[in-house]
Amino acid sequence: MLTQKSPGDFSFPKMKLRKEIIVEKHNPKERQIIYCDTGIHRTTWCGPFAVATVAGTDYEPAYQTLRKIRGKRHCKGVSNSNIKVACKRLGIKGEWHKLEKRRIFRKFWKENLEPGKVYIVQVTKHVLVVDTRDWTTIDNQKPEWVAMDASHHWNKKLVHNFFEVENPKFESKCDDQFSFDFDLVA
C-alpha cells in the first residue's frame, strides 16, 4: 500500500494501530537502581539507552562507551556527535540529518522517515529510537516497544535531528503482533 511518487517521496496509508500491543524486540532495560551510603541514584539516560538499543547491547556497555567519549563521570546531556562516535565504536553505521524546519513528532515521521529502517530521533532535550519496520518507538522514559502513535512524545515534542541507522543489531519481531487497518489517504 506504500507508494513512491518520486525518489524520497512516499505516500503513507492511514494506520490505526492497537496501542496496547507491545513488541518483543531487543530492550536494554533500565539501569539497576542502587542506593549507596552516599545516596546516589543511578539514572538511565536517554542517549546511552538509544545507543544500547540500536547496538543490541545492554545499557551499561553503551553508558561506559559514552562516558569515555565525553571524558566526564556521567552521560547526562550527550551530543549528537557523541552518539555517532559511540555507535561507531559499537559497530553501528549511520549519519545524522538536520531538519530545515523543526516539526512536531506526529508530522515529522511522514515527511522524513522511510519504511523499513531504524532511526535515533532527537526531540527537544531527549532522544528516542524509532523502528519503521513495524512503526514502533522505545526510550528510557518508557522502556518498552510501543506503537509510534502511542508514544508520549507524539503530540508534545519537536524533532530537531535524526540519525539514520544503517545496520541495527536487533531484528524486528512483529509478524503477527499488530493488526493494521489501512485506509487510503486522499
Q: What is the pLDDT of residues 29-51, one digit of tens each?
A: 656 555 555 556 667 899 999 99
Residue 23 has pLDDT above 90, yes or no: no
Convert the pLDDT of each residue in 113-168 to its tens digit.
999 999 999 999 999 999 999 999 999 988 889 998 888 888 888 999 999 999 99
**Reported pTM:** 0.77
Residue ranges and CATH numbers for the domains of the chain are 30-165 (3.90.70.10)
Question: HSE (CB half, 13 Å, CA atoms) of 167?
Answer: 6
Contacts of residue 180, defined as CB under 8 A and 6 or more positions apart, other chains included, come to 15, 16, 17
CA–CA separation, 26 and 112 (whole Å)? 24
More confident residue, 26 or 72: 72
> What mean pLDDT is predicted for residues 8-16?
49
Segment holding 2, helix H or strand E: none
Q: Maximum CA pair distance of the chain?
A: 61
- Counting residues of the chain whose pLDDT is more than 70, the rounded percentage is 72
* Residues 87, 54 contacting (CB under 8 angstroms): yes
> Quick check: 25 and 144 in contact, CB under 8 A?
no
